[in-house]
Amino acid sequence: MINKNKLNNDDRPLSPHLQIYQPSFTMIMSIMHRVTGAVLYFGSLLLLIWYVSIVFGPDTYNFVGKLFSFFIIKFALFLFTWAFFHHLFGGIRHFIWDTGNGFSLTAVELLARLTVILSLLSTLVVWFI
């Protein structure tokens, strides 16, 4: 294991970071892919709680069901679902890039827009249809 800290002394220049750049739509979408990934990481515990509550029997299951039906928590679950579809379509975008296609500015913009639109639509379909 190389100690990275030995290289991180104050004399070394830092590469430009987030605060240097003017935020752009595609940049925010890139950040959102990581943010939704992290949200899903911790959100997986919500799915786990639900699964385990089924094993514990009707009483526990109904309690968790009631908890998940509270407006605030239900809204959080809605956002959780949106994070899933956002990450899903963002992932498809990455698959397209893996083939070497979709790197032109217009394509990148279009793919980013499609990610937002399709993820929202899918979330609404799963929740309300």
Give which of 30, 35, 128 is closest to 80, Cα–Cα.
35
In the complex, least distance from residue 8 CB atom to other proteins, rounded to whole angstroms: 6
Binding of residue 124 to other proteins (CB under 8 A): no
Cα 122 versus chain centre, distance: 14
Residues 49-78 within binding reach of other proteins (CB under 8 A)? 50-52, 54-55, 57-58, 61-62, 65, 68-69, 74, 77
In the complex, least distance from residue 106 CB atom to other proteins, rounded to whole angstroms: 25
Phi, psi of 4 (to 5 degrees): -65, -30
Give which of 45, 113, 38, 50 is closest to 83, Cα–Cα.
38
Count CB neighbours of 36 within 10 A: 23
Rounded-to-integer distance, Cα 4 and Cα 75, Å: 42
Binding of residue 117 to other proteins (CB under 8 A): no
Binding of residue 31 to other proteins (CB under 8 A): no
Binding of residue 88 to other proteins (CB under 8 A): yes
Q: Which stretch binds other proteins (CB under 8 A): 9-17, 24-32, 41-49, 105-113?
A: 41-49
- What is residue 16's three-state secondary structure? coil
Rounded-to-integer distance, Cα 118 and Cα 36, Å: 15
Between 26 and 81, CB nearer to other proteins: 81
Positions that interact with other proteins (CB under 8 A): 1, 3-5, 8, 34, 37-38, 40-41, 44-45, 47-48, 50-52, 54-55, 57-58, 61-62, 65, 68-69, 74, 77, 81, 84, 88, 91-92, 94-95, 98, 126-127
